Amino acid sequence: MWKFVVRRILIMIPQLVVLSVLVFILAKVMPGDALSGLVETPGVDSSTIEDMRTNLGINDPVHVQYLNWIKGLSQGDLGTSYIHQRPVLELLEARLWNTVYLSAAILFLTYLIAIPLGITAGRFHDSLVDKLIVGYNYVTYATPLFIFALLMLFVFGFQLQWFPTGGSTDINLEPETFSYYMDKIYHLLLPALSGALLATVGTIQYLRNEIIDTKMKDFIKTAKSKGVPEAKIYSHHILRNSFLPIAAFLGYEITGLITGSIFLESIFSYPGIGQLFLQSISQRDFSVVTALVMVTGVATLIGTLLSDIILSLVDPRIRVE
Amino acid sequence: MSNDDILLQVEDLTTSFRIDDQYYPANDHINLDVYENEIVAIVGESGCGKSAFGHSIMGMHSQEQTKISGKIHFKGADLLSYSNTQLNKVRGKEISMIFQDPLTALNPLMIVGKQIEEGMKYHTKLSKNKRKQKAIEILSEVKIPQPERVYSQYPHELSGGMRQRIVIAIAIACEPSLIIADEPTTALDVTIQARIIDLLKELKRRMKTSIILITHDLGVVSEMADRIAVMYTGEFVEIGETKNFLKNPLHPYSKSLLHSLPSKNNQGEKLHVIKGVVPSLNHLQRQGCRFKPRMSGTDDSIHEETPTLREVEKGHWVRCTCYKHFQIDNHNQVVEGEKDDVFQGQ
């Protein structure tokens, strides 16, 4: 097992190098830089801007810039944001946690809704309940998140005023107190629920199909022929087998925890990674953009690794020696 | 054999499957007695209804898709009147089943020991440790080497033959009085087949269990069975004692089946071929002799209008009168122009 994990991590090194080159090239190929917007500003002449460029290292040869960037990266230095004039790491940290909370809440709510519904639909498939659940699935699958989220915000945030309409916490509250954390959860609920209600579709459909599939398997007949009561056939035989693909996806879902949801964060003005990403692109704040893409890439690699590990833990057939 | 020895008495059993909101009988008014400590083989082509019969006895069919009528007397009770909960007390404990494909009949996520124990959990009061002990004993009974080690192995770590032994171990775990073996050797290669047959015979001798052996392999039948029941399109067309049946098959279908086997006596000859295929459930002609469409060149008058199963000699039952007029002449069986359809014998 450990050998397998170490080997997987070693394979990740070349993947990371390729990823960093790609990210760097993409950032460089994009037209303009953080100083482009300053050209028209009165009182700033172009030679000053050119000096600023030289000082920031933007005029260095590409490979020098790349090596500098990698050197910083390996020391945990993600650079400085041109726009915010703060280290990128500092900028990310606060928002990263917000995103993790939000995504964890979405993931939790998604499973909370999807697993019981998926099991019910699979167990009583072709019944009225199943048809209702599949109907719900079609609706949520066809609904665009940005419209649904706006609608939720309008109804529950502005009209009914049950939930706050933006931010991640009330700024008047003392951090690290109980009411501060409760308030954070309160701010989380509406965006998380909006995300979760639409995110259930994959899990429900997978679980339902897996259960219907597993029900027909020969080993279920074997279990029945042993005299195992139906409820126990479900809990001991069908469900464990049906959860395999869901478990395999868990790793990728964890990736989602870090990369966040751009739409949700923008609509609910929730200060997370996604919102920062959009802002940074429009402001040409490339040190932030490249850092974010790198973080996302690393998260994806870790996610696939986790998926493999989880699957090998739950399925003896792919247990790695 | 007297009536006191009857373990299972199937009376007028009809099992119908639903196809497009219509029910079609896959077993049509079946009668069969199974005596204690005997092996009855049910033989027939794929799709003739032999598995459906085995599943009906154990109540394995899905209730939404099937209709079952008739009576299944087992140890003084009618199994068909049982609820699912009541049946769960019988399944695994009194009647158990051996399945065809050992590769799919075991739960891939459960160690085999637990799968053998599972039945005991519901049918006995044995403690956890006792169950494990018993499971290991059973593993050695089905001739598995190193039973302690195999106990905690997963099915994918075992070979096909080993897995079939596990499937058998599951079936005998609670020492049932009747085992329904649904093609237990079909998925195995010939050498393993022979060993599994020996194992089943030995278990039957030691445990005094009756076995209903469902198969289309007449070789297996001749080695194991005390009696044979030949099924065609959901009806028994001939029932008889194995020796007698193999020497003197009467029904045209039985005769044709036996003649389509390669043997020492028909070396160099073309094997007999039964023309046509088993009609599907919803296209089956249920009037008159059901085998008639597959006997070419016979006169309609030799068949009964409503064929019944009759005892023509002691313990030997045949359906329809057409058997009296049916002969297979090996040398003239293949008619010109039909050679393409014929399997070339060695």
How far is Cα of residue B118 from the mean position of the Cα atoms in its chain?
Answer: 25
CA distance linking residue B226 with residue B7, whole number of Å: 15
Distance from CA of B175 to the nearest CA of A (A): 12
On the question of pLDDT at A136 being above 80, the answer is yes
Q: Using the 3D structure, point to which of B127, B149, B175 is the last residue of a domain.
A: B175
Residue B207 lies in a domain: no
For B55, the token pair is 């599943």
C-beta atoms of B85 and A229 within 8 A: yes
- CA–CA distance, B102 with A297 (Å, rounded to integer): 44
Q: List beta partners, residue B318.
A: B238, B310
Alpha-carbon distance B110 to B313, whole Å?
51
Which of B91, B101, B107, B179 to mutate to test binding with chain A, by most A CBs within 10 Å of its CB? B107
Least confident of A277-286, B248-257, B260-269: B260-269
B283 in a structural domain: yes
The residue ranges of every structural domain in chain A are 2-74, 89-318
Q: Which residue of A has its CA nearest to B152?
A: A316
Helix/strand/coil (H/E/C) assignment for every residue in chain A:
CHHHHHHHHHHHHHHHHHHHHHHHHHHHHCCCCCCHHHCCCCCCCHHHHHHHHHHHCCCCCHHHHHHHHHHHHHCCCCCECCCCCCEHHHHHHHHHHHHHHHHHHHHHHHHHHHHHHHHHHHHCCCCHHHHHHHHHHHHHHHCCHHHHHHHHHHHHHHHCCCCCCCCCCCCCCCCCCHHHHHHHHHHHHHHHHHHHHHHHHHHHHHHHHHHHHHHCCHHHHHHHHCCCCHHHHHHHHHHHHHCHHHHHHHHHHHHHHHHCCHHHHHHCCCCCHHHHHHHHHHCCCHHHHHHHHHHHHHHHHHHHHHHHHHHHHHCHHHCCC
Residue B69 lies in a domain: no
Is B329 within the bounds of a domain?
A: yes
b or e along A273-301 (b: 16 or more beta carbons within 10 Å of the residue's beta carbon)?
Answer: bbbbbeebeebbbbbbbbbbbbbbbbbbb
- A147 CB-near residues (< 8 Å, 6+ apart): none
Determine the residue of chain A that is closest to B99 in CA distance.
A222
Q: How many angstroms separate the CA atoms of B86 and B41, rounded?
A: 27
**What is the domain range of residue B144?**
102-175
Tens digit of pLDDT for each residue in A69-95? 888 888 877 777 777 778 888 888 888
Tens of pLDDT along B194-235?
888 888 899 899 989 999 999 988 888 888 899 999 998 888
pLDDT at position B268 over 80: no
Stated length of chain B = 346
B211 contacts B179 by C-beta, under 8 angstroms: yes
* Contact with chain A for residue B101, Cβ under 8 A: yes
pLDDT at B346: 34
ipTM of the assembly?
Answer: 0.84
Whether residue A82 contacts residue A52, with contact meaning beta carbons closer than 8 Å, is answered with no
Structural domain includes residue B234? no
SS3 assignment for A19-45: HHHHHHHHHHHCCCCCCHHHCCCCCCC
Q: Is B60 on the interface with A (CB under 8 A)?
A: yes
Global pTM value = 0.80
Inter-chain residue contact B88 with A228, CB threshold 8 Å: yes
**Residue B239 · residue B310 · CB < 8 Å:** no
> Does B115 fall in a domain?
yes
Q: For B174, name the nearest residue in chain A, comparing CA atoms only.
A: A226
Number of domains in chain B: 2
Mean pLDDT for B117-132 is 92
Return mean pLDDT, chain A. Answer: 84
Beta bridge partners of A49: none
Is B107's CB within 8 Å of A218's CB? no
Instruction: Note whether residue B215 is domain-resident.
Output: no
Q: Which of B129, B157, B175 is a domain's end point?
A: B175
The answer to whether residues B209 and B126 touch, using CB atoms and an 8 Å cutoff, is no
CB-based contact B118 A226, cutoff 8 Å:
yes
Q: Note the pLDDT of residue A319.
A: 67
Residue B154 has a pLDDT of 93
Asked whether residue A308 carries a pLDDT value surpassing 50, the answer given is yes
Residues 6+ apart with CB under 8 A from B194: none
Mean pLDDT for the stretch of residues B233-260: 88
Confidence bin at B110 (pLDDT 50/70/90): very high
What is the model's pLDDT at position B239? 93
Taking the CA of residue A116 and the nearest CA in chain B, the distance in Å comes to 22
Superfamily of the domain at A89-318: MetI-like (1.10.3720.10)
B112–chain A Cβ distance below 8 A for any pair: no
Give the model's pLDDT for residue A131: 95
pLDDT digit string (tens) for A143-167?
888 888 889 888 888 888 888 877 7
pLDDT at B340 over 50: no
Average pLDDT over residues A32-37: 65
pLDDT recorded at residue A310 = 83
* Alpha carbon distances (Å) from B220 to B194, B242, B345: 8, 11, 20
B52–A contact, CB cutoff 8 A: no
Comparing CB atoms, the residue among A226, A314, A316 nearest residue B92 is A226
**pLDDT of residue B152 exceeding 90:** yes
Q: How many CB pairs under 8 A join A and B?
A: 79
- When scoring B97, B109, B168, B180 by the number of chain A Cβ atoms within 10 A, the one with the most, hence best to mutate, is B109
Contacts of B156 in chain A (CB under 8 A): 316-317
Average pLDDT over residues B298-326: 81
Cβ–Cβ < 8 Å for B213, B220: yes
Q: Is residue B145 part of a domain?
A: yes
Minimal CA separation from B54 to chain A, in Å: 11
